[in-house]
Structure 1
Amino acid sequence: MRTVTLGRSDLKVSEICLGTMTWGTQNSEAEGHSQMDQALAAGVNFLDTAEMYPVNPVRAETIGRTEEIIGSWNRRTGRRGDWIIATKITGEDGKARGDEPISGDAVGRALEGSLKRLATDYVDLYQLHWPNRDVYHFRAGWHFDPRSHDKAAILAHMEDVLQALDRAMTAGKIRHWGLSNETCWGTAMWLQLADRMGVARPLTHQNEYSLLCRLWDLDLAELSHNEGMALLAFSPVATGLLTGKYQGDVIPPGSRRSLNPTLSGRVTERVWGAVEAYLAIARAAGLDPAAMAVAWTMTRPVQTLPIIGATTPGQLAIALSAAELRLPPEVLAAIEGAHKAHPWPY
């Protein structure tokens, strides 16, 4: 497993990040610990979580459980230093802290909760899980309307949060901070305000990115390249769609789709043809489709690190194998052809 310098930082991270959102629902504490051990053995040192996890479904009584599972591994092994840990503060409708929005005051309280659950004194990367305002992510692009935004209020909120993040960084509780599910305009405002205030800029984005979801490739990619930000790509196998296990519109028992039948709006009439196009490319090249999908994200012109997730050791092994997979030019060309034939399938 190769390591890379994350954006414009001093963080040396594995080029694949271990995602944890199922730990506490689909995965037990023991299984979460086993995944950490398996990933470490493969050379992974980068782990992503959030205060609202586990998901599928998100329940107020279980939020924070995933961080607790990571924390119990840290306490049991004494090896907190083996990991670069990223977590997130959740905003409205995230079931955390009474569904309150992100604010400077909320950052302080949410961070303290995460540190306690993670059994650590600091977080390497602290992320804002999603903006307080409406954005076009999560399949909202079909009806996105920015006219309800109050620019002055948004900028005042950003200044408040930046001050809180700066206090936490000065106290040594956060090493770096990042954005998640943010837009190009929003990112530009965070960068501009951080520079004006003389505080740390956001280091990363964490946005959905896969063969089926390529909104990132346009303005956000340009902005990130020029500003030195890295993409942490969540759902690189499109919540399992790109494994092929749902083809034929089936719902395997125990799968994510058994808990979330539409995969949060990703299951559409258009998606099956798009998935089949990528499965056919993998079959023709003798590749596992999930490994191909993860490996593809690491070929992008802007630094992109896939966040992989699994519920079984076998699934995790396939995702980890992408680190050694080099997609030949003919496969990359076929992928671009499939993208043009099946753009934005959900």
Structure 2
Amino acid sequence: MTAETQGRTDRYISTWLKTMPRDKVIVATKVAGYSEKSTYLRDSGKTLRVNEENITESVEKSLKRLGTDHIDLLQIHWPDRYVPLFGDKMFDPKKVRDSVPILDQLQALKNVVDQGKVRYVGVSNETSWGVMEFTRLANELNLPKIVSIQNSYSLLVRTQFEVDLVEVCLPQNCNVGLLAYSPLAGGSLTGKYILNPEASSSGRFNLFPGYMGRYNKSLAREAVSAYVEVAKKHNLSPVELALGFCRDRPYVTSSIIGATSLEQLKENMNAFAATRPLPEEVMADVEEVFKKYRDPAFT
């Protein structure tokens, strides 16, 4: 994203939103986390922080671009504090920095909720500690409770969520639903980069070498090849297998899909209507691949 394209999707959605009954659509957006680079997002040009000033400006600009009077779900895109992000796996204590207290963030979110501009709040790229702290403070101080966590989750990225976030987010615990992003691992799980490399010449991995490289390195490609074979064995497309896997997890509320063509969009949507749940024999084969390639995107 650049300063020139920032906000363009909101404007596209705005034209469509005007044709729909507003109460039949759930509009979700995010406020950016800590960033020294994306300063173009704010009028001040200062480092981005998850504080009242930035949350307020983000909400006001989103509402204007979307042409609506409220946002149904506002999520913090990534934490204000240091956490491993976007391909980094291990926590490095040396990188811990001063951050906006979570209490301050919740109080700022309460302001936009009380004003009727936001209905519900959530987090993204968050950790177990973060989810628990947001929940604890909300419960103790009658502040808005987070209802969602938008984290990466797919056949190539499982352990971060499955090891402990699943338990934290259970209804009887923090009661937070997972919105799985990158369920196709940047498009790699479609198998297109392996099955037909020439046809994927316009794919992001080829157009932007190194971008999301964690999904396109040798071990990840080996895992994708194995999952493609599982799909073939059970008469599924790779997309049906990958999206069906996410769809059927009991802790996944929804999956965030992306497409660069109507054909891709239709394939994604059709996958959610395919065999559900995936048969036990399919899942048994998935688990066999997982045993051999455990989160290859981070290995």
- What's the TM-score once normalised by structure 1's chain length? 0.78
Q: Deviations over 1:227-253 (max 9, x none)?
A: 111000001011110011112794723
Structure 1 counterpart of 2:242: 293
Task: Please say which of residues 175-184 and 87-96 is displaced more in the overlay.
Answer: 87-96
**Residue matched to 1:323:** 272
Indicate if the aligned counterparts of 1:271 and 1:345 stay in contact, CA closer than 8 A.
yes
* C-alpha contact 1:177 1:203 (8 A) present in aligned 2: yes
The gaps in structure 1 that reach 5 residues or longer are 1-57
2:79 and 2:125 in contact (8 A); partners too: yes
Judge which range, 268-277 or 313-322, deviates more.
Answer: 313-322
Following the alignment from structure 1 to structure 2, what is the Cα–Cα distance between the partners of residues 147 and 186?
19
- 222, 228, 233: which is aligned to 1:279? 228
Counterpart check, 1:235 vs 2:177: no
- The correspondence for 2:30, drawn from 83, 88, 95, is 88
Corresponding letter in the other structure for 2:16:
W
Aligned partners of 2:101, 2:202: CA distance in 1, in Å? Answer: 41
Deviates more, 1:96-105 or 1:61-70: 96-105
Distance across 2 between alignment mates of 1:81 and 1:189: 31
Q: CA deviation at 1:183?
A: 0.8
Q: Which residue number corresponds to residue 10 of structure 2?
A: 67
> In the alignment, what sits opposite 1:5?
none
Relative contact order, higher structure (CA 8 A, sep 6+): 1
Once the 2 structures are TM-superposed, how far is the Cα of residue 79 of structure 1 from its aligned partner? 3.5
> 2:5 and 2:94 mapped to 1: Cα distance?
36
Identity of aligned residues (%): 39
Contact 2:243–2:271 (Cα < 8 Å) also in 1: yes
Counterpart amino acid of residue 229 in structure 2: A
Deviations 1:169-189 (A, max 9, x none): 111111100000011111111
- The answer to whether the 8 Å contact 1:297/1:304 transfers is no
Tell me which amino acid in the other structure corresponds to 2:89. G
Q: Which amino acid aligns with 1:224?
A: C
State the shift of 1:74 in Å. 2.3
Partner of 1:55: none
Q: Tell me how far 1:141 sits from its aligned partner.
A: 1.2
| Aligned equivalent of 1:304, options 245, 250, 253 | 253
CA spacing shift, 1:340–1:116, aligned 2, 3 Å: same
Give the corresponding residue for 1:269.
218
Aligned residue for 2:166? Answer: 221
Contact kept in structure 2, 1:134 and 1:146, CA below 8 Å: no
How far the C-alpha of 1:300 sits from its partner, in A, is 1.4
The total of aligned residue pairs comes to: 284
Seen in structure 2, the aligned counterparts of structure 1 residues 84 and 159 have a Cα distance that, compared at 3 Å, is same
CA deviations 1:8-60 (Å, max 9, x no partner) are xxxxxxxxxxxxxxxxxxxxxxxxxxxxxxxxxxxxxxxxxxxxxxxxxx111
What does residue 141 of structure 1 align with? 89
